[in-house]
Structure formats: structure tokens, C-alpha cells
Amino acid sequence: MTMKIANHKSLLVLLFILASWITFAVIQNSTKLWTALRLPFSLHHWNFVMKTQPEPPPNPIVSPTETALRIKRIMEKLDQLVPPRPFTTVSSTTSATHSRATVLSPRDTYCRGDRLDVLLEMRDHLGRRKEYGGDFLRARMSSPALKAGASGKVTDFNNGTYLVSFTLFWEGQVSLSVLLIHPSEGVSALWRARNQGYDRVIFTGQFNRGTSQVNTDCALALNSSAELCEYLDTRDQEAFYCVKPPNVPCAALTHMHSKNKDVSYLSKQERSLFERSNVGVEMMAKFNAITVSKCHCKSSLCVTDGWGFPGGSAVKNPPANAGDMGSIPGSGDPLE
């Protein structure tokens, strides 16, 4: 009996030792164990964190070379939109007075919601037909009684003709306007001058030097052999430079001042295109206001209350061609 009790105690001691060893092993290798089981939670009380998914890689750093190439591609696309339009005399540029505006399919009365199209044929100051587009036009319609206005849509066919489309939003008398803001030759000159250089604006940086200030030249590009401070925009990889003052850190820059230099990249003839009398010339001065009515009828071209238009008006069953920019309908009488 005594032998059995001793054996039983020995077995309990062995089991206790074995259990203690297993517990110790589990604690020491718990990280590997939970990783193998892929349990989606953190064991905070054991002072380590389980990560069930890898961290996303950081955003790739775009090199200055890649940024420069991207900017170059964008500028090349813009250059294609504004091609060079050199001219020898102002008489060969677009003239609002000599150009022709024609209402397509004119009517005595229009319905609210209808579309009215105007065909523009651009000519120069000698009356010759222009063969390319690129003119800066502004099309507007207005209702003086309602004190309302809206823009028209201008389509450039790149052959000297334009289609201006107006959606007639309001009843009553509606005035139409097409302004030649700048001829295509002027637009091209402005774009060339814009890209020609950055030295038209003078930048002056102010640095703190103890109780005094010191000013130096700054610019996007400095032609100087002196030591420069570079201020880099890490996002766009664009840099701005200032001449570094002696014994003053670059971080001491506090203020920036600028003023225009008396320099122009436009020729005398090009500058004449931007004289006040040549900017924003009306092309539809002889065109009378049109009459727009509700058109209460069952025709699909007529409009009744119920469908929303800008300006607070409402129409029901809008015409199928309202706002449609399809092919050009038949031409009407010129407005000259």
C-alpha cells in the first residue's frame, strides 16, 4: 500500500514537471506559434504585435528627371493647342468688323429651351477669309429684364469658321453677343512671350541677420557665380533660388518682394493687337434682340412649364435638340 502511494506521488511530480516544461516552451515560442496559426489579433499583454498583412510599400519617389519629362510632355501638348501664328502686318490678323456672323435657320419667334446657332466666318482687315482658327472668342446671351446671362458654346473648326450655340433659357427679349477678345495671332504672341523667359519679374529675398536684414536677388533661374540657396518643392521637384548672403544661413529667408521689369517680349506690331480699341470687339453689333416665348402647344419643339433650366425658369418636355451639338443646319441670311 505504501509502495502504491509513493509511485502515485512520483507520477504526479513527473506530470507537474512535464506540464511546467510545456508551459515554459509555449511562452518562449508563442510568437512562432501564433504566426503559424495566423490568428488575426494582437497579444498585447505579451508585449508584441501580430501583423496579419504586410505593410503597403511607401509611395515611390519620383526623380527630378521623370518630373522634367512629364512637364515637357504637358508643355508640348499645350504648344500644339496654340501653334505659332506669325504675321508681318496687322492687316493680316483677324478683324471682328470684317468677319461675318450668320444665324442658322432664323425664325421670328423662338421657344424657351430652343437652341440658336450662329456661324462665324473670320476674315482679316482686308476682308480675306481666314484659313485657321485659334481666335479667343467670348459668346454670351443676356436678358436685361431678368438681369440674367449665360455663356454660349463655341466650336472651333480650325479653318476660320466657328459655330456658336446658345440655349434659350428665358422668355422675352434676349440679346446675343460674340466678342473677339484676341485674334489668333495675338493669342499665339502671348503664349510665345509667356514661354520666352522668367526675367520679367524681379524677385528680392529678405534674410534676417541678427538685428538687421539683408536683401539678395532671387529667381527661378539665376545667372550668377555666387553661392546660391535652393528652395525645393519636393512634390513638384521645382526649385527657387536666392543668392546666399555671407555668413547667413539659407533658412534665414523671411520675406520675398517682387516687381515688374520694364521689358516686353512682344514686338511693336504685336503690342498694337492689345490696345484697348482692339480688345473685346463686338461681332454681333447689328443683330437685334430675339423674342423667346413659352410656346404652349403639343409640338415636340414647343416648351411648357415643368423642366428646369438655369436662371430659375422651368420647362416641361424639352426639345430633343436642346443643347445638342450635332451637325450644322442650313444657313440663313448674313447679319451684315
3-state SS string for 24-67: HHHHHCHHHHHHHHCCCCCCHHHCCCCCCCCCCCCCCCCCHHHH
Domain boundaries, the chain: 90-189+269-323, 198-264
Residue 326: band (very low, low, confident or very high) from pLDDT cuts 50, 70, 90: very low
- Look at residues 176, 182, 123 and name the one whose alpha carbon lies nearest to residue 150: 176
pLDDT at 31 over 60: no
What secondary structure, in 3-state letters, does 255-314 show? EEEEEECCCCCCCHHHHHCCCHHHCCEECCCCCCCEEEECCCCCCCCCCEEEEECHHHCE
Q: Give the Å distances, CA to CA, from 152 to 50, 164, 284, 330, 331.
A: 62, 6, 13, 19, 18
Query: CA 195 to CA 83: how far, in whole Å?
Result: 13
Q: Best-predicted range by mean pLDDT among 78-87, 234-243, 281-290, 313-322? A: 281-290
DSSP single-letter state for residue 220: S
Give the other-Cβ count within 10 Å of 168's Cβ. 25
pLDDT digits (tens, 9 = 90+) for 125-158: 999 999 999 999 999 999 989 999 999 999 999 9
- Look at residues 213, 226, 195 and name the one whose alpha carbon lies nearest to residue 82: 195
Q: DSSP for 98-118?
A: EEEEEEES--SEEETT-EEEE
100 backbone dihedrals φ, ψ, rounded to 5°: -120, 135
Beta strand 172-182 with 281-282 is antiparallel
Residue 59: band (very low, low, confident or very high) from pLDDT cuts 50, 70, 90: low
Show the cell assigned to 133. 482658327
pLDDT digits (tens, 9 = 90+) for 227-262: 999 999 887 778 899 999 999 999 999 999 999 888
Task: Tell me which of 1.10.10.10, 2.60.40.10, 3.30.70.260, 3.40.50.1100 is the CATH number of domain 90-189+269-323.
Answer: 2.60.40.10
Q: What is the pLDDT of residue 45?
A: 34
Show the cell assigned to 117. 446657332
On whether the CB atoms of residues 245 and 209 are closer than 8 A, the answer is: yes
| Helix orientation angle between 184-196 and 64-81, rounded to the nearest 10 degrees | 160
Query: CA 255 to CA 130: how far, in whole Å?
Result: 50
On whether the CB atoms of residues 101 and 140 are closer than 8 A, the answer is: no
Contacts (Cβ under 8 Å, ≥6 apart) of 43: 30, 34, 49, 50
